[in-house]
Amino acid sequence: MQDAPASRATVRPKAVTISGTVSQDGKTLISKQDETWTISNAEVMKGQEGRAVTVKCRPDTAKGSIHVFFFSPAETRYLATNGDSAFRR
């Protein structure tokens, strides 16, 4: 039986989806679970400072950082209730 090459022995974590808010400096992401992640490729998030986003990324839990593959603005959901003005007719 042969040993696996060193390059294959390293297991990389799978890509995950995280929703949260980009910090004002654009270098960190604060998730909805109040976890703070450092963005290793912060230039990708330029222009998204202070906004809610959903990112597809590869986390490095040892360093507390993420490498962002792509992002999208977080969905805004509205909830209508019977007390809203649209229902008062």
18: Cβ–Cβ under 8 A, 6 or more apart, which residues? 29, 31, 37, 54, 55, 57, 59, 66
- What pLDDT does residue 11 have? 64
Residue 5 scores a pLDDT above 60? no
pLDDT tens column, 45-68: 999 999 999 999 999 999 999 999
Among left, alpha and beta (phi > 0; psi -120 to 50; other), residue 9 is alpha
Residue 50 and residue 30 in contact, taking contact as beta carbons nearer than 8 Å? no
CA 76 to chain centre: 16
For each of the domains in the chain, give its residue range(s) and CATH number, in order of start: 13-73 (2.40.50.140)
User: pTM above the 0.85 mark?
Assistant: no
Nearest to 14, CA basis, from 70, 49, 51, 60: 60
Mean pLDDT of the chain: 85
